[in-house]
Amino acid sequence: MAKRRVIGPTAWVLGGAGLFIGAVAAWLVSQGNPGNMGLCIACFLRDITGFFVGGVTNQGAVAYIRPEIIGIILGAMGAALLTREFRPRGGSQPLVRFVLGFIFMAGALIFLGCTVRAWLRLGGGDLTALWGVLGIVAGVLVGIVFLKKGFNLGRAKAVAKPLGWILPTFAVVLLVLVVVSTLGATPEFATQTKAGAFATGDKPPAVFLKHDGEPDQVLKPEGATLAEDGSIVAEDGTVVASAESVAKAAPQPGGKRALLWVSLAAGLAIGVVAQRSRFCSIGGIRDAILVRRYDLLFGVVGLLIGSTVVNLLFGQYNLGFTNQPIAHNDALGSFAAMTIATFAAMMLGGCPFRQVIMGAEGDADSTTAVAGMLVGAGFMHWASLASSGKGLAPNAWPAMAVMAVVLVAIALYGSRKSA
């Protein structure tokens, strides 16, 4: 083959897209989103699951329809329609893709962030994210082994038009629900973390709101009140949270959010930019190693630079391994969880962000993968397998072992078919 340039003009498009997305994500943190979580596809889909089934899955702290997701879907859909790239397609092993989406989410909730947030955590100075980024590289390498063996889930074909509209329709439904919930009319079945809520580390936690930095109104347990010594006391007089525990209470992630319209507008812009640029949080490393093409890698480099700069500008940058928001420093656990998540994403053909974008372009298979992620999130919280800031859940390692076996089985199955 004649000489080929390995960095083309699209590198600048992708670099610019990454810069923009990283900068907006870091800015969203200044607007109220959780630390280093201006944008996280896994976390935000998980929060949406919490809204619907949080009462059952024990997701009281992480239940909110994240408007960023709605914006991303509608923005990407609009961009795809305008450029005639909206095409209802599907039929490439949807059930396998559902399982891959499920496992992706499981890995992300053990690491505490998707492949996008891993870079954003690093952009906030969170060095514990390095273990996750190493896991991304490892997951890409494992995926490449099978791609080289001919791994392929089969071709997607044109499908009945309505199937292409599932994810955009879901986004509209979510938009209606989040608007009515924000106006105070949360549907009865739904769970929504109160904006600005704090929770103590007790079991079960006491949840309260603050006013001017001081504990003010107790939300949970019901009927409990704030005692004069600063503790929270139940109706029957028992202390449910000591004054010390109240003082150490942390904000519930689901209650940390930018204004609805701010999140929505940011999501719309990100959706358009991501659809046009084809930004992917794992594809850059994959293409660099597999086909020696570096353009896509500029996307994550841009993301890292954009988020770092804006975090520094807003005084949100905190370099180190300790006191990082919604993160733990279990190096091996983070590495393994991200290897698993990325391996799953490699077999899906792109990171969860790309799955959402492609679902918005009419790809029913990607929509199925997103459905797997939503269900996986509910399962992980219901089964107490998701990590917390303290570290991995007790059964996280056995769960990862099972997921690794399933992934290898899928990889072998996909490689065998085309062999």
Binding site for other proteins (CB under 8 A): 1-6, 8-10, 80, 83-85, 87, 89, 92, 147, 152-158, 278, 280, 283, 286-287, 290-291, 293, 295, 348-350, 354, 358, 361, 363
DSSP sequence for 81-110: HHTT----EE-S-HHHHHHHHHHHHHHHHH
d(CA 131, CA 160) in angstroms, rounded, equals: 43
**Toward other proteins, which CB reaches closer, 274 or 392?**
274
* Interhelix angle 166-182/67-82, nearest 10 degrees: 140
**Toward other proteins, which CB reaches closer, 152 or 242?**
152
Could you identify the residue written with the tokens 């109706």? 235
**AA letter at 157:** K
Please give the order of strands across the beta sheet that includes 225-226: 225-226, 232-233, 239-241
Structure tokens at 87: 């095409």
**Toward other proteins, which CB reaches closer, 167 or 399?**
167
Q: What is the smallest separation between the CB atom of 19 and other proteins, expressed in angstroms?
A: 19
Closest alpha carbon to 36 in 141, 126, 171, 114: 126
d(CA 133, CA 118) in angstroms, rounded, equals: 6
8 Å CB contact between 193 and 63: yes
**Toward other proteins, which CB reaches closer, 147 or 240?**
147
Q: What is the smallest separation between the CB atom of 259 and other proteins, expressed in angstroms?
A: 33
Q: What is the smallest separation between the CB atom of 117 and other proteins, expressed in angstroms?
A: 21
Q: What is the smallest separation between the CB atom of 363 and other proteins, expressed in angstroms?
A: 8
Q: What is the smallest separation between the CB atom of 297 and other proteins, expressed in angstroms?
A: 13
Q: What is the smallest separation between the CB atom of 64 and other proteins, expressed in angstroms?
A: 31
Bridge partners of residue 215, in order along the sequence = 210
**Toward other proteins, which CB reaches closer, 83 or 323?**
83
**Toward other proteins, which CB reaches closer, 76 or 399?**
76
d(CA 50, CA 155) in angstroms, rounded, equals: 34
Bridge partners of residue 225, in order along the sequence = 233
